Amino acid sequence: MARKCLAAAALVLLCAASVQASRWNLEAEEQGRNLLQAAKSPNCTRIDAHCSQCRNQRIPGTRRSELVCSSCASGYRLRRDGISKTCDCAPGLAMDADKNCQPCTQGNFCPGGDATNNNAESTCPDGLLTTFAGAKSQAQCFTKPGYGRTSSKGSDGKVSLAGVVCDIATYNVGQNTAGCQKCGAGLTTAAIGSTSAAACQAPAGSYMDKGIGKLCQKGTYSTALNSNANCIPCPDGITTAAEGSTTAAACSLALKGYYIDATNSTNAIKCPLDTYQDQEAAVDSCTACPNGWKTKDTGATGVALCLAPPGFELVDGATTITACAAGSYKADWNRNPCVACGSGLITKEAGSVSKDACLVPAGYGLTSMSPMVAAPCEKNTYGDSVDRAAVANARCTACPADMFTLDILNSAARVGLYTSEAACLVKEGWGTTVTLPQQCPNGTYNEGKNRLPCRSCGTGWTTVAAGKTAATQCVIQAGWKMGADGIPAPCDKGSFSTGGSELAPNATCTACDAGYSTQEDESTSILECTVCAPGFGGANCGQCDYGTFASGGAKVGDDCASCAVGSTSKKGATQSQQCYSTLIDARNDVFNLADENAWTPDNTAANAAACGDVCTGSADCVMYKFVSAAGGGGQCSLLSEEASNPTHTVGFKIGNGDDYSVWGLTQAVGAALASPAVVADEAACKDACSAAAECEVYVFKSSDKTCTLTKSELEEASISMFHVVGAKLYSDLHA
């Protein structure tokens, strides 16, 4: 066995050596040929006109060789048939009549030559074409516009392409490998072979919406293919029986709320007010609303729109609507009943349409807002004088403080309505003011149950207390009296009054004790008699003596004031003006006498002043006259009073008749201004002198009551002055 293996191995080695030797011989032979060829390049075009490189190749099974093509020129390719002697056109090229390869023309394709191909161009299947020159395969056959490309695999496994014309409702823009594209939903085309999406349109009875076709809605139509965004609307008020209408004739039904014009079927008319039409039908009239109901607008589409307008309702059992009764309202279009305003509230009239029409009657006020209730104002409250809106503040208004309505003042039921503050009255003994009522103060009264201020009793009147109700309760006030004329008058100084009472309303003034007075008028008590009266003074308020005066009001114990030196006054003088000079000049020179012998010479006085002193030193000297002598000095003469049996009363005027110095004489004094006149008495004579500016002296004869008014006369070198004595003053003599 081992020997057999060794023999086999030796045989293998022998065979291998033989093969290697043969290879070396062939390679040496090949190298020789190559050297030969290198020494002289063969003419490759002898093999094929387009062979660019060639070589010698041993013919299998022989020792001979032959020239074969190694590669072809650009645009050609060596046919892979094992012979290597033919140059075919490369893919994308086709051989022309001159056996040259040219680029495949646009529309065809050239797969290149092979053992079964004559290098000619290949046409694309129907409906396909190439889009550029030099196409290399059928796969580069793209669609023509309006065609789609399909592919199928044969039994040999090869895929073949075909072009098919685009059917209705499809399209292809071409120059692609796709099949035909379907139009959007609901769209179609006018014919086969459509080339763009723009050819996809809505068919009759449809319209386009965002790239899809939709059926025309009811009330619209379209008659042909279209790209419209909307269908054609039927005339106003007219519709179609269904969607997708394709003719205008389909617009034949009246919409709800319309009817077809009997004279023009293409015209629809809205249902008039107070009628309705509730179908889509070929009707030529509308139906009247029942129960008198109304429609808010024309074109009502059903009986449900037949309503009672604001302010109306259908009362139960009634066959037609009626206006809301007064005191109720209805605001809207509906079939609801009217709403009552509320207890006590009213409306101006029937048929109110708003809650705002609800009013609170004059003299009423709201007592509740929910539910709304109004009631008459009473018990010291009042309402408005007119009906007013029923709002929150439409309540009764309280009377001002301390004012009352008659139901309270009379403690009785209210009579009538209280419609203003004028119903608020004051009670008895009270009155109104600019602010609040008040109880009538002393001196006023008011019967009450009115709006009047307290009435004054009047000047000099008062009441014994506040809160009086009648003028009969007025009495004379303290410090006053009832005058003789029936009019109250204040008590003068020196008197007082405590006033009247309701039992004795009148009063009189009572004088203070003699010599005493009050400081003011209208004193009310004897306790106010605390000062001396005018013309009185001293410890016990005695009468002021001659030559003194007191104006009154001095404290008890104060003496009367003295007149100035050289003057005097009557007793009880009350003012300094009643102090008169003791000697007063005649206005002219002298008072002449009827009997000049009545003068009594006085030889002691050397001049007029001394003559005057002599006169004032004598209580009965009436006047003096001094006649100056040419060489100095002169004669002093005195006239004395006739104390025992005078026949004439002679009064010398002091000032303008403020008083008179009165003496008893037996003759007249001065020059008469006029003839004597008969007068009633001395006082009348005095008054006549006071009234006559020229009069300086009155002369009254009591025997015949004649009065003579006289004056002084001019007399050169003479002077005359009459004597004034307190006890001889007319005011003192006739006090």
pLDDT in tens, 407-424: 999 999 999 999 999 999
pLDDT at 39: 44
Q: What is the pLDDT of residues 425-474, one digit of tens each?
A: 999 999 999 999 999 999 999 999 999 999 999 999 999 999 999 999 99
200 near 183, Cβ under 8 Å? yes
Low-confidence winner among 40-49, 558-567, 704-713 (lowest mean pLDDT): 40-49
Average pLDDT over residues 254-278: 96
Element containing residue 685 per DSSP (H, E): helix 682-691
Average pLDDT over residues 524-539: 94
- Residue 41 scores a pLDDT above 90: no
Q: What is the pLDDT of residues 183-205, one digit of tens each?
A: 999 999 999 999 999 999 999 99
Residues 315 and 344: their CA atoms lie apart, in Å, by: 22
Six-digit token string for 79: 């046919």
Element containing residue 710 per DSSP (H, E): strand 706-711
- Residue 23 scores a pLDDT above 60: no
Average pLDDT over residues 76-100: 86
Query: What single-letter amino acid sits at 335?
Result: R
Residue 28: pLDDT band (50, 70, 90) is: very low
pLDDT at 495: 96
Cβ contacts of 335 within 8 Å, gap of 6 or more? 293, 307, 308, 314
Low-confidence winner among 288-292, 544-548, 550-554 (lowest mean pLDDT): 550-554
User: Which stretches does DSSP call E strand in 294-340?
Assistant: 312-313, 322-323, 328-329, 339-340
pLDDT at 84: 81
Low-confidence winner among 21-25, 50-54, 549-553, 580-584 (lowest mean pLDDT): 21-25
Three-state secondary-structure class, residue 390 = coil
pLDDT at 79: 85
Give the Å distances, CA to CA, from 50 to 45, 97, 104: 6, 15, 18
Beta bridge mates, 568? 580
Query: What single-letter amino acid sits at 1?
Result: M
Average pLDDT over residues 320-326: 97
| Mean pLDDT for all residues in the chain | 92
pLDDT at 117: 64
pLDDT at 18: 43
Three-state secondary-structure class, residue 122 = strand
Residue 20: pLDDT band (50, 70, 90) is: very low
- pTM of the predicted protein model: 0.48
CA atoms within 13 A on the CB side of 162: 8
Three-state secondary-structure class, residue 8 = helix
Residues 273 and 92: their CA atoms lie apart, in Å, by: 85
Cβ contacts of 26 within 8 Å, gap of 6 or more? none
Residue 223: pLDDT band (50, 70, 90) is: very high
Average pLDDT over residues 581-606: 94
Residue 569: pLDDT band (50, 70, 90) is: very high
Element containing residue 17 per DSSP (H, E): helix 2-39
DSSP string, 631-660: TS-EEEEEEE---SS-SEEEEEEETTTTEE
Question: Which of 114, 112, 132, 79 has the alpha carbon at shortest distance from 122?
Answer: 112
pLDDT at 114: 73
685 near 700, Cβ under 8 Å? yes
pLDDT at 704: 95
Residue 120: pLDDT band (50, 70, 90) is: confident
Residues 225 and 203: their CA atoms lie apart, in Å, by: 4
